[in-house]
Amino acid sequence: MKKFIIVSLFLLTACAPAKAPALQAAPTQIPTSIPPTAIPPATVETILPTAAPTPTEELLNQRASPLDGMPQVYIPAGTFRMGGLDVRRAANETPDHDVTLAAFWMDQLEVTNAMYALCVNAGACQPPQSFKSQRRYFYFNSPEFNDYPVVYVTWSQAKTYCEWAGRRLPSEAEWERAGRGDDFRTFPWGEDKADGLRANFNMLVGDTSRVGTYPAGASPFGVLDMAGNVAEWVNDFYTSSYANAGTLNPTGPATSSSLQRVVRGGSLGDAEINIRVSKRSSVLGSIPGAAPDSQASLGDFSPRIGFRCAANE
């Protein structure tokens, strides 16, 4: 089963609820700002992997964000098969169905500590709910981990960052297309069994890895870290199946009584079955209108959940 460590209830699927152990009783008290000298600005050169995969020429279409240096990959318009296509698929991955998407840009990497600190220092973002990671006491505020994925961010914090950076959270369908491409693969890299050369999963590392560490695990479009490392917030509310899912640029249901949001990609602690490209899980999102800084307004957060952004063509 998927085992994110979260502050409160973590539902894997609507049909198989499970409680994750609480890491802490309440959000860690943190300062409202970070000394600018503690986190130097991120640069593309320090983030890109040294041994990148070689996609075909038509897919090698990239740009870098002028605000945070994030390399972005162009995902062309097209139709793909969404949902679980292998024998291990869960009920919430069904029914599989064709989805047509307009072209968009997807962050090649997960948003890093250094990138997120730019937004905090600009006064547009709140710091993560903890400066720690899974096993590191100093993480977000340690230059050693600048190029590692930011964690302990709520859904609202992820959304705010993406909007500050001139982008947005991807839809669940966009996330899966960027990870799967246009064939029926089980993992971003294909059908080969997951291992330590393709992904950070199953506690092989025990904590987060530097973004871009696993070029052998790249998706068909060259998007990295879409399996393992940290699971990723997407924009959609969670539903227990795709029974009523849209097929043209779907954005998920307009609202949800449970206020659960979808997270994708599995994490550093997940077994192989939970880093398949179709795997989907639910986590309590931020609740608008609740008392500021309350647990209800924040929703859940975890040392195993981060995010990446997308942008329209």
Question: For residue 28, what pLDDT is reported?
Answer: 33
Q: If you count DSSP H runs as helices and E runs as strands, how many of each does the chain have, helices first?
A: 5, 12
Residue 22 has pLDDT above 60, yes or no: no
In contact, 138 and 282? CB cutoff 8 Å = no
- In this prediction, residues 116-136 reach a mean pLDDT of 97
What are the tens digits of pLDDT across the range 289-313? 788 777 778 999 999 999 999 999 9
- In this prediction, residues 220-246 reach a mean pLDDT of 97
Residue position matching structure tokens 């993480």: 139
Instruction: Identify the bridge partners of residue 105 per DSSP, sorted by sequence position.
Output: 74, 311
Residue 11 is classified by DSSP as: E
Residue 213 has pLDDT above 80, yes or no: yes
Nearest to 238 by CA among 273, 207, 262: 262
Spatial distance between the Cα atoms of 133 and 136, rounded to a whole number of angstroms: 5
Q: Three-state DSSP class for 113?
A: helix
Q: Which of 21-30, 86-95, 246-255 has the lowest mean pLDDT?
A: 21-30
What are the tens digits of pLDDT across the range 161-187? 999 999 999 999 999 999 999 999 999
Q: Where are the alpha helices (DSSP H) in the chain?
A: 44-47, 113-121, 155-164, 172-180, 295-298
What are the tens digits of pLDDT across the range 75-105? 999 999 999 999 999 999 999 999 999 999 9
Confidence of residue 34 (pLDDT cuts 50, 70, 90): very low
Question: For residue 52, what pLDDT is reported?
Answer: 44
Q: Three-state DSSP class for 204?
A: coil
User: 66: which 2 tokens?
Assistant: 């002028």
Question: For residue 47, what pLDDT is reported?
Answer: 53
Amino acid at residue number 300: D
Protein fold of 1-14+59-313: paralog of FGE (formylglycine-generating enzyme) (3.90.1580)
Question: For residue 289, what pLDDT is reported?
Answer: 79
